Amino acid sequence: MKKTVTLTFSDGSPPIELPIEQGTYGTPVIDIRPLGAKGYFTHDPGFTATSSCTSAITYIDGEQGLLYYRGYPIEELAYKADHMEVCYLLLHGELPTAAQKQAFVDSISHHSMLHDQMENVFRGFRRSAHPMAVMIGVTGAMSAFYHEGMDIFDARHREIVAHRLIAKIPTVAAWAYKFNEGQPFIYPRNRLSYAENFMHMMFSTPCEDYEPNPVLARALDRIFILHADHEQNASTSTVRLAGSSGANPYACIAAGMASLWGPLHGGANEAVLKMLDEMGDVSRIPEFIKRAKDKSDSFRLMGFGHRVYKNMDPRARIIRQTCYEVLDALDLRDDPQFRMAMELERIALEDEYFISRKLYPNVDFYSGIIFRAMGIPSSMFTVMFALARTAGWVAQWNEMLADPAHKIGRPRQLYTGPARREFVPIGERTA
């Protein structure tokens, strides 16, 4: 027997019965679609209690701090798989066999170069442009290079789009960094792994040999896995909404990057390092905790809190562990910022304000410390997030378009503007 809920109205209007749907896991949803025809909308600014779609890709349990990609716990994938396997899993729903993985890796490797003309897109920016601005501009420009004759309603065409984006975004990211630095663009090398190739394009120069540090490459690959997808977050919802109109997928991914750039979303990893730099010493932690709690101060503790997690973000726990590994590998185990971050976490997690609001460190709290230790500047931190999240964005975009029932997204509103009024000619208007 399908579970339902009945809306009754205090003015005696006829009740409305609505179906309740239960997924594999998670909060059941009330299917409110019949409400429109009955003369009502629901109202949920910020979508705090709204399910926007059906998806089989990622599951998050905010209370328990769980994160599954296609049913596999993030801890399993982070320590036992690599990013290429996870990209395949997100796109196809199953972990690849050895042969399927090899074919996928070969396809990604052979799509990693950019059209030669795209160099000019980078050169249209000032050298000092923020690398996220460059990444968004170049990714959007890809819509002018790679979408001729593509049919987004053809599954194979969508797979080619996905492979191109997963393959090319690391090149775009590394070249945005090289452009900032005034160094020559470094071309991808197909024999290297995904993370090694990114490090090669970021840190090598034509003047000397470069071999990626295997410990750092493994840590980077794990960080890509942790950032790959996260259900219907702001940037993924942006990609879905843009893509729901049938828009060019490269332009849709650029829109997702724009949303991710915000300091409340993926821009938080850069904001955490700016906060730690400003804090400067553990002795100033109480001052910043006080500011974070002061409602008259717009300051928030960057890297803390989450719309969904009301427990420790499972990714933060893994990234903290990875921090230890990277700092040990670089003989930076006493990195003052890492020590300060851990002390800040300890103090905040003992503070009633954070405990009562269930504010825990999120994925952005520690990632910047690792990136900085690897020699990646803070201006590149959100670029790193966007690089990894491209796999999730294209998987969610693909899932949406594969659903024959999908519709263009078109939310409604609660109108609070002026009632109808007559036009006043300008000569008769008074201030």
Query: Which amino acid makes up residue 114?
Result: L
Q: What is the 3-state secondary structure (H, E, C) of 93-137?
A: CCCCCHHHHHHHHHHHHCCCCCCHHHHHHHHCCCCCCCHHHHHHH
Of 32, 359, 384, 395, the one binding ligand SDX by CB under 6 A: 359
Nearer to ligand SDX, 197 or 233 (CB): 233
Of 307, 310, 377, 409, the one binding ligand SDX by CB under 6 A: 307
Under the binding rule (CB under 6 A), the answer on residue 264 touching ligand SDX is yes
Smallest gap from residue 73 Cβ to ligand SDX (A):
16
Least Cα distance to 297 among 289, 309, 305 occurs for 289
- Residue 364 annotated as catalytic: yes
Position of minimal CB gap to ligand SDX: 305
Task: Spot the catalytic one: 265, 328, 351, 403.
Answer: 265
Nearer to ligand SDX, 183 or 311 (CB): 311
- CA atoms in the 13 A half-sphere facing the CB of 186: 26
Under the binding rule (CB under 6 A), the answer on residue 230 touching ligand SDX is yes
Under the binding rule (CB under 6 A), the answer on residue 303 touching ligand SDX is yes
Stretch that binds ligand SDX, among 12-20, 91-99, 356-364, 410-418 (CB under 6 A): 356-364
Question: What per-residue string of b and e applies to 86-118 under the rule 16 or more CB within 10 Å gives b?
Answer: bbbbbbbeebbeeeebeebbebbbebbebeeeb
Of 109, 248, 259, 362, the one binding ligand SDX by CB under 6 A: 362
CA 88, CA 83: separation in Å to the nearest integer?
Answer: 9
Smallest gap from residue 368 Cβ to ligand SDX (A):
11
- CA atoms in the 13 A half-sphere facing the CB of 157: 13
Under the binding rule (CB under 6 A), the answer on residue 92 touching ligand SDX is no
Binding mask 308-347 for ligand SDX (x = CB under 6 A): x---------------------------------------
Question: What per-residue string of b and e applies to 253-272 under the rule 16 or more CB within 10 Å gives b?
Answer: bbbbbbbbbebebbbbbbbb
Q: Residue 373 in contact with residue 141, Cβ under 8 Å?
A: no
What is the binding site for ligand SDX (CB under 6 A)? 230, 233, 264-266, 268, 292, 300-308, 357, 359, 362-364
